[in-house]
Structure 1
Amino acid sequence: TLYTYPENFRAYKALIAAQYAGGNVKVCPNFVFGETNRSEAFLKKFPLGKVPAFESDDGKYIAESNAIAYYVANQQLRGSTDVEKAQIIQWLGFADSEILPASCTWVFPCLGIMQYNKAATDRAKEDVKSALNALNQHLLTRTYLVGERVTLADIGVACTLLHLYQYVLDPTFRKPYQNVNRWFTTIVNQPQVKAVIGDFTLCVKAAEFDAKKFAEFQGSQGKDAKKDAKKEKKEQQPAKKAEKKEAPKEEPAELDACEMALAEEPKSKDPFDLLPKGTFNMDDFKRFYSNEEESKSVKYFWEKFDPQNYSIWYAEYKYPTELSKVFMSCNLITGMYQRLDKMRKQAFASVCLFGEDNNSTISGIWVWRGQELAFTLCPDWQIDYESYDWKKLDPASDETKKLVEQYLSWVGTDKNGRKFNQGKIFK
């Protein structure tokens, strides 16, 4: 059983790890922060009264979010070698010491939880930049922080970055950290992660300190303090009065503020809704392509394509010299697809890898509604596209028809003669 309040990013670590491991971690349904974790029964198990806290089926008690996540994880998440295990611990420590303090200092005033201090916030922003720079450099040639699969390092660091990416890392601030953005959106779009945190939307406009919200929050805290004082007096427990008076109440406050901010967020709409629908039925074409031979699919595409309201684009990866192993290059393609999941309804792509290990290129054909680059329609989509050169194609030209046939059929070579290796379809 996991004891926590809702939307606790620290508890997310264990819940996500359990999703990967296939374990069944039950969250205590009647947990009330400030009451349950102050009860005598809880303090016997967890003397510090902090959450998240975990009680195993056989009566073992574990505190601290990283330790709980490690306990419920599987071997893949913990690392397969001593070096990997040490590196995972390194990144978990990095998240707690280099990211978390700066995140709280910057984000909490924006949520009304803490008083704003300009000097402290400016320092926090610089600390965040330093942490993101270190991550960005590390992820330049890596898909994940440790090894070739998701580990506790990815889960822990991503969970610690959630508030930053949700509230303050607007497109301008996060733009220099493309490798981190790519990695972060890959992690939050993993099925096991989405099962816990749901759909995640990147910050569009940075939140700022609101004096009114802070005053309202402090007022509510004052009322809570009076209630506690009356309760303590009535129960006549002078020995515990000092302890209760000193107990911090910032975590439930964090919850209230986060829920308030989430409630104020407008419901997201499909950015493509602003564009004319046209006559090209994307779902219909995708079904046809999946069920018929490529030659028939190419012919069907040109019969149905609406050039007035849809466009065709050629994309080529800018940094082929950085591509090494074929499977790692394929991870770049599938990772991009995962991060663009919300585009699937109105877009189609066939992206191919040509060549072999240490000598390959990535390029593809994309089709979507509208006549401009679709990625500019939504900040969530602006992660990978700058790593590619984009060229809008003329639907009437023979060259375009040849390219579409080649990429839909997965044949031929790239412009330097490298043979087709494998392809990935975005549909």
Structure 2
Amino acid sequence: MPSTAALPSHPAPGPEARLAFTELLLGCEEAQTCAEAAVAWLVHHAHAVQVLCLAPDDTDSHRLVPLASYGVADAEGFVLALHDPAHPLVEALQWTEPHWFPPGQLPSELPLAATGCFSLSLGPAAPGTPPPGLLLVVSALPTVSPDAAWLAGHLGMHLARLFKGRQLVRLEEASSELAARVNAATEELATQNELLRRQAIQLEQASAAKSQFLANMSHELRTPLNAILGYTNMLLQGVNGELSKTQLRSLSRIDSNGRHLLEIINEILDITRIEAGRMPLHLSEFRLPELIQEVMAELDPIIARSKLAVSASMEGNLPPVYGDRQKVKQIVVNLLSNALKFTHEGSIRLLASYEVPTATFHIAVADTGIGIDPVHQEKIWEDFQQVDSSPTRAYGGTGLGLSICRRLAAMLDGRISLKSAPAQGSTFTLHLPRRTRRT
């Protein structure tokens, strides 16, 4: 314990001294000024020969640093980290009574470690908040003065008020800064939204212009092409006289390529009509068996040339369909044509069935062709896209057929699914409700 041989001659403080110090604290708005006043009061009235006041760091509330001191050399460099609960001074923060640390018990980096000191907590820490601070006092008395304990309590309450106010100011500043950032971001977002809106309008106008151009061009191309096909057909029928085999072969090629070109033009016209929302629906009641027979008859020349085993089978007693017959036929023709195009050997099966619980028709075209890798199965539904889009691709076409089929199926409240794998064939299935509800 500290020696009593060097007791100071200061008189014990009376009520006036305590009242004066309390008034000083109430008029003090800076934590360091309050701490310096408290240290001076302890030296003058409480027999303190060395004092070190620790308080939360401005930049890191999870550590205490010196705020004021008296008679302590090199106090400025000391830091008490609060994340170490085993540190004796961190434990002392929770004590409500003064505690004596004999020489050598505290870490050597503490300036008062060699002499021993009393610790006084400046009030218990509130839950979730750092403690107000700690007073370390080397006293000329064998015990710490009751006046020092009284001062610690009052100083702790006042420092806690100041730190809380400082935190509120910082929160207000941070809130103002955040509000300014939010306002700036909101303005930027509004600017970007306006730019995007204008770009969207421009894109819509460009898309509409493109669709209108394609529709006009398709019409302008189809008119003379129909005339070419008409005259070609007349020549093939011998209207202008009998033709030689060479002439017949040449005219047949003109007719074949002309019809292929007409099919491409029709696909472009269809996609532009769908995009522009001008593709009408003509709803009526029809039966699938008759429709599938028409499809098979229409593609019979291609089926004959393919040398493939092509079959069609349907469940018995299929109910009638209420939808757009021409569009259903267009989808089935396209799916079967694709199967013939991409199947070199094996078979193709066209299957029609009806699912009673969901009132849904399933029209499947299954082939043993080249198949489609899963990584490309989404690509084939996009406009003008094929698995192989290179100029040297083995298969021709615009890449619009499946895109048109999917859109037509959606117009009919249906959808098209695909199951396929490379070299294992493909199965495209049109799922069609018994009744189309769109008009």
Instruction: Indicate the structure whose relative CO is greater, using CA pairs within 8 Å and at least 6 residues apart.
Output: 1
* TM-score, reference length from structure 1: 0.23
Larger strand fraction of residues: 2
| Larger proportion of helix | 1
Structure number with greater Rg is 2
